[in-house]
Amino acid sequence: MKLTIAHLQRGQRGIIKELIVDKIPLKLLEMGCLPGNLVELVQTAPFRDPMYLNINGSHLAIRKETALLIEIELI
Amino acid sequence: MGKQINVSLIGNPNTGKTSVFNQLTGLNQQVGNYPGITVEKKEGICKLPRGLKAHILDLPGTYSLNASSLDENVVIELLLNKNDRDFPDVAVVVSDVENLKRNLLLFTQIKDLEIPTILVINMADRMERKGISLDIGILEAKLNTKIALVSARKNTGIEELKELILNYRQISTEPCLHASIMDPEYFGRLRKAFPNQSLYKLWLVITQDVNFGNVNRHSLNDDNSFHTKSNSDLKRLQQKETILRYQFINGLLKEGLKIDLNSATDLRIRLDRILTHRVWGYVIFFMVLLIIFQAIYNWSSYPMDFIDSSFASLSEWTKNMMPAGPFTNLISEGIIPGLGGIVIFIPQIAFLFFFISLLEESGYMSRVVFLMDRIMRRFGLSGKSVVPLVSGTACAIPAVMAARNIENWKERLITILVVPFTTCSARLPVYLIIIALVIPDESFLGFNLQGLTLMLLYLLGFGTALVSAWILNKILKIKSKSYFVIEMPNYKLPMVKNVAINVVEKTKAFVLGAGKIILAISIILWVLASYGPGDNFNKAEEIVTSKHIANADSNLEQEIAAYKLEHSYIGILGKGIEPAVTPLGYDWKIGIAIVSSFAAREVFVGTLATIYSVGSDEEETIKNRMAAEVNPVLGGPLFTFASGISLLLFYAFAMQCMSTLAIVKKETNSWKWPILQLVIMSAFAYLVALIAFQVLK
């Protein structure tokens, strides 16, 4: 199974490896969600959805369905 | 020197762009709409040194030039259209010193349009606390621009910014990034096909769904001289563009920006631990709501009572001071109460916008959206629909306006359409009197039945809103990108100036917009109720007096008034609709009250008061009168459990508020949605009331 942002535990960090460009809003890429960047799970709402992330210094929340599309590598 | 410098303020949301705008223009600003769409257009005049003036346009916040909402379309459409009246002589990009990396992405895009571009680095007052130091010289050289280090909060750097705007001609228009490095081969072909256009502009025209002079996307795509790419290839290129831009920015910031992490203390982490907590987060949100409700109901009741009595005495005074006649009556009974009906909403609306802008300015609103998104999504709404639904319990008008914060058009439209179901304060007087009449004042399992009924009506309102949202979500086939990305901004102390300007502007918009319609309706109602055809109306006094001789003297005037009303145009109208309301258990008088309630629900009690010829507004007397009314068809009391419940349900569901319809028209820019609301909600209300009465009677 591929490891994605949706699998992060609170406080855990990873490096973005790959993302499914066609399905991810461009806005998310523009906010710094790009391969090679650092991502940390700050907080989750109940049912782990949405997820509150710190990507490359940008704080933002995305829905779980989007988080599942972003592959990461734990550090 | 009549020429003004056209300035466009551009920037990511949450960079304090509006604060900079407020500092530049002060109260010298106006808010309107862009033609044909509901995106807010804020513009103002800024006085520059040496007697010159700048026209400042505060463009909607955007993260990049790749538009994903109507608001963002406005930005690129303006920047691509040199012939637009507002096309900027100089663009000012506002950035936040703490999010410089992300903010610079937009800056590099604007710069590539070859418009003179100034970079404002805002929130400079936070630099020390966050351990940030900047090398402005290096940044200016690498970005090939001029930088103003500003703190809108502390009002520093604004004069320097004005100086830069004044000297905009000295700013280089050299782009940051040459688009062609994304894909030299593709852009080479593009260049050959359109030799005279800027490549980055062409690229935007290809990737965005906007018009650009006489070249549009389709004519480009149909051009055979170069092969266009598939959408997914284009998106890959856009990703590449973003990566290239970030590479450029990273290189730049490595030299120009230093952050000493040791001196950074993070309030955000500590606050977020509580405010977005899966238990405490909801508890705190609930308490915030409670405080807001309390404030809106309690605090605004004082100014509202004051306004109410002031307008009543003004009306009385006018009547006494001016010569008697229809013109005086129109002013004292039609126009002044009509104006009062507008002004009385101001306290609630102002308080509501005060709290909403506090929540927004502080950054807390994003946390609420985060907490509520999952729950609201089940109903086809967004986390951002919470604010309008909550506001709706005060008044649907500001609630519909508050839905502007929802970027996704479908979610926003559904929110606007279902908001009028929430129990607004205008329904309250109607509920109270009917409940007092038909629900026994007894307790059930320790709860007062009347209070329980009122609570059920509130829950019914919310429930209906959610269920109809769910249904609308299934029915409406509106394509709008349904992504959800929300920035969680830093917590900030709200700026008094921003909050004050926001409250004033929103309240003004309400008074001028919806106010005109309320005023018109109240004049029409007055005319219909004050005039009638034939002898029955015009000789009412004689007719009633002659009948009345036998009776005591006390209620003569009131009876004349009641008789007149029955034979006025509105009375005839009431009689006309009687067949329609009889199956619901009402008589013609309630019919009239319902018809006049379509101007505003709270008119109900007042109308019945007049019809039942009770001079005062005191509810107890009206209540006794109402209890004594006899059903003309069935005999027995008119207000029974069945007809009372039927009436309550009718008021819970019917769309009886002209001002809400007016504001929905304004916000959706179409008569289609308010008319649908009116027809469907009222038909549904009629049906439910009919079933309730027929089953219960």
Closest Cα of chain B to A36: distance in Å?
A: 10
Residue B233 inside a domain? The answer is yes
Phi, psi of A59 (to 5 degrees): -95, 125
Closest Cα of chain A to B671: distance in Å?
A: 32
Residue B642 inside a domain? The answer is no
Q: Which of B228, B263, B298 is the last residue of a domain?
A: B263
Integer distance in angstroms from the first to the last C-alpha of chain A?
Answer: 17
Coil/strand/helix, residue B689: helix
Residue B546 inside a domain? The answer is no
In three-state form (DSSP H/G/I as H, E/B as E, the rest C), the secondary structure along B341-360 is HHHCCHHHHHHHHHHHHHHH
Each as own residue / partner, the long-range contacts of residues A32-37 (CB below 8 Å, 24 or more positions apart, any chain) are A32/A56, A32/A57, A32/A58, A32/B101, A32/B102, A32/B246, A33/A70, A34/B239, A34/B242, A34/B243, A34/B246, A35/B243
Residue B241, token pair as written in the block:
């563009």
Judged against a pLDDT cut of 70, whether residue B175 lies above it is answered with yes
Q: Which domain holds residue B234?
A: 179-263
Coil/strand/helix, residue B425: coil
- The architecture CATH gives domain A5-74: Roll (2.30)
Q: For the CA atoms of chain A, what is the radius of gyration?
A: 11
One-letter amino acid for residue B506 of the chain: K
Q: Hey, are the CB atoms on B101 and A21 less than 8 Å from each other?
A: no
Judged against a pLDDT cut of 60, whether residue B651 lies above it is answered with yes
Closest Cα of chain B to A1: distance in Å?
A: 25
Q: Hey, are the CB atoms on B374 and A30 less than 8 Å from each other?
A: no
Same domain, B120 and B216: no
- Per-residue pLDDT, averaged over B600-623, amounts to 61
Residue B488 inside a domain? The answer is no
Quote the pLDDT of residue B224. 52
- With CA atoms as reference, the chain B residue closest to A35 would be B243
Quote the pLDDT of residue B202. 83
Q: Hey, are the CB atoms on A52 and B242 less than 8 Å from each other?
A: no
Same domain, B113 and B225: no
* Helices B336-343/B496-530 angle, 10° precision: 150
Residue B22 inside a domain? The answer is yes
Same domain, B240 and B257: yes
Q: Hey, are the CB atoms on B374 and A47 less than 8 Å from each other?
A: yes
Same domain, B191 and B92: no
- With CA atoms as reference, the chain A residue closest to B109 would be A30
Q: Hey, are the CB atoms on B242 and A66 less than 8 Å from each other?
A: no
CB B413 within 8 A of CB B446: no
Other beta carbons within 10 angstroms of residue B207's beta carbon come to 20
| Residues of B engaging A, defined by a Cβ cutoff of 8 Å | 63-64, 66, 68, 99, 101-102, 105, 232, 235-236, 238-239, 242-243, 246, 268-269, 272-273, 276-278, 366, 369-371, 373-374, 377, 383, 481, 483-490
In sequence order, the 6+-apart residues with CB closer than 8 A to the CB of B89 are B5, B6, B7, B116, B168
Coil/strand/helix, residue B132: strand
Residue B98 inside a domain? The answer is yes
pLDDT tens digit string along B501-515? Answer: 888 887 887 777 667
Give contacts of B278 with chain A, Cβ < 8 Å.
Answer: 44-46
Quote the pLDDT of residue B598. 77
Quote the pLDDT of residue B263. 56
CB B33 within 8 A of CB B40: yes
In sequence order, the 6+-apart residues with CB closer than 8 A to the CB of B368 are B285, B359, B383, B386, B387
Residue B590, token pair as written in the block:
């309630």
The interface residues of chain A toward chain B in range 8-47, judged by CB-CB distance below 8 A, are: 21-22, 25-32, 34-35, 42-47
Judged against a pLDDT cut of 90, whether residue B647 lies above it is answered with yes
Q: Using pLDDT thresholds of 50, 70 and 90, give the confidence band for residue B616.
A: very low
pLDDT tens digit string along B271-322? Answer: 999 999 999 999 999 888 878 767 766 787 788 888 888 888 888 898 888 8
Same domain, B123 and B203: no
The partner residues of B185 in beta bridges, in order of sequence, read none
Judged against a pLDDT cut of 60, whether residue B552 lies above it is answered with no
Q: Hey, are the CB atoms on A32 and B102 less than 8 Å from each other?
A: yes
B668 is in an annotated binding site: no
CA-closest candidate to residue B484, choices B561, B557, B377:
B377
pLDDT tens digit string along B539-548? Answer: 777 777 776 6
CA-closest candidate to residue A43, choices B359, B387, B274, B99:
B274
Q: Which of B226, B246, B263 is the last residue of a domain?
A: B263
Quote the pLDDT of residue B225. 52
CB B597 within 8 A of CB B604: yes
Quote the pLDDT of residue B667. 83
Quote the pLDDT of residue B88. 94
Residue B266 or B420, more confident: B420
pLDDT tens digit string along B375-407? Answer: 998 898 988 898 788 778 777 887 887 787 676
- With CA atoms as reference, the chain B residue closest to A43 would be B276
CA-closest candidate to residue B653, choices B611, B597, B614:
B597
As for how many domains chain B has, the answer is: 2
Residue B391, token pair as written in the block:
């506001």
Same domain, B31 and B145: yes
CA-closest candidate to residue A48, choices A5, A14, A16, A15:
A5
Q: Hey, are the CB atoms on B238 and A46 less than 8 Å from each other?
A: no
Quote the pLDDT of residue B51. 87
Lowest mean pLDDT among B30-39, B228-237, B354-363, B616-625: B616-625
Q: Hey, are the CB atoms on A26 and B66 less than 8 Å from each other?
A: yes
Q: What is the mean pLDDT of chain B?
A: 83
Coil/strand/helix, residue B300: coil
Probe site for chain A from B99, B234, B239, B491 (most A CB atoms < 10 A): B239
CA–CA dist B361, B19 (Å, integer):
10
Quote the pLDDT of residue B464. 96
Q: Using pLDDT thresholds of 50, 70 and 90, give the confidence band for residue B1.
A: very low
CA–CA dist B140, B151 (Å, integer):
18
Closest Cα of chain B to A40: distance in Å?
A: 13
Same domain, B227 and B139: no
Q: Using pLDDT thresholds of 50, 70 and 90, give the confidence band for residue B14.
A: confident
Closest Cα of chain A to B102: distance in Å?
A: 6
Quote the pLDDT of residue B481. 60
Quote the pLDDT of residue B305. 83
CATH number, domain of B34, equals 3.40.50.300
Residue B549, token pair as written in the block:
């001789």
Judged against a pLDDT cut of 60, whether residue B551 lies above it is answered with no
- Per-residue pLDDT, averaged over B458-464, amounts to 91
CA–CA dist B1, B534 (Å, integer):
67
Q: What is the value of ipTM here, to two decimals?
A: 0.95
pLDDT tens digit string along B110-125? Answer: 999 889 999 999 999 8
Q: Using pLDDT thresholds of 50, 70 and 90, give the confidence band for residue B549.
A: low
CA–CA dist A31, B504 (Å, integer):
33
Same domain, B31 and B157: yes
Residue B474 inside a domain? The answer is no
Same domain, B201 and B143: no
| A-B C-beta contacts closer than 8 Å | 108
Q: For the CA atoms of chain B, what is the radius of gyration?
A: 31
CB B93 within 8 A of CB B80: no
Q: Which of B122, B152, B170 is the last residue of a domain?
A: B170
CB B469 within 8 A of CB B380: yes
In three-state form (DSSP H/G/I as H, E/B as E, the rest C), the secondary structure along B14-76 is CCCHHHHHHHHHCCCEEEEECCCCCCEEEEEEEECHHHCEEEEEECCCCCCCCCCCHHHHHHH
- Pairing mode, if any, of strands B146-149 and B90-96? unpaired
* pTM over cut 0.80: no
Give contacts of B63 with chain A, Cβ < 8 Å.
Answer: 27, 30-31
Closest Cα of chain A to B484: distance in Å?
A: 6
CA-closest candidate to residue B518, choices B420, B602, B592:
B602
Quote the pLDDT of residue B162. 95
In sequence order, the 6+-apart residues with CB closer than 8 A to the CB of B132 are B97, B98, B126, B257, B258, B259, B260
Q: What is the mean pLDDT of chain A?
A: 90
The partner residues of A52 in beta bridges, in order of sequence, read A43, A61
CA–CA dist B67, B62 (Å, integer):
8
Residue B298 inside a domain? The answer is no
Domain ranges of chain A: 5-74
DSSP 8-state secondary structure symbol assigned to residue B671: S
pLDDT tens digit string along B208-251? Answer: 866 555 555 555 555 555 556 777 888 888 888 998 999 999 99
CA–CA dist B630, B278 (Å, integer):
55
Q: Hey, are the CB atoms on B370 and A52 less than 8 Å from each other?
A: yes
The count of residues in chain A is 75
- Per-residue pLDDT, averaged over B337-360, amounts to 80
Same domain, B103 and B145: yes
Quote the pLDDT of residue B56. 95
CB B96 within 8 A of CB B122: yes
Same domain, B101 and B246: no
Same domain, B202 and B146: no
Lowest mean pLDDT among A24-33, B182-191, B256-265, B612-621: B612-621
Please spell the DSSP secondary structure of B348-394, one letter per residue: HHHHHHHHHHHHHHHTHHHHHHHHHHHHHHTTT--GGGHHHHHHTTT
B26 is in an annotated binding site: yes
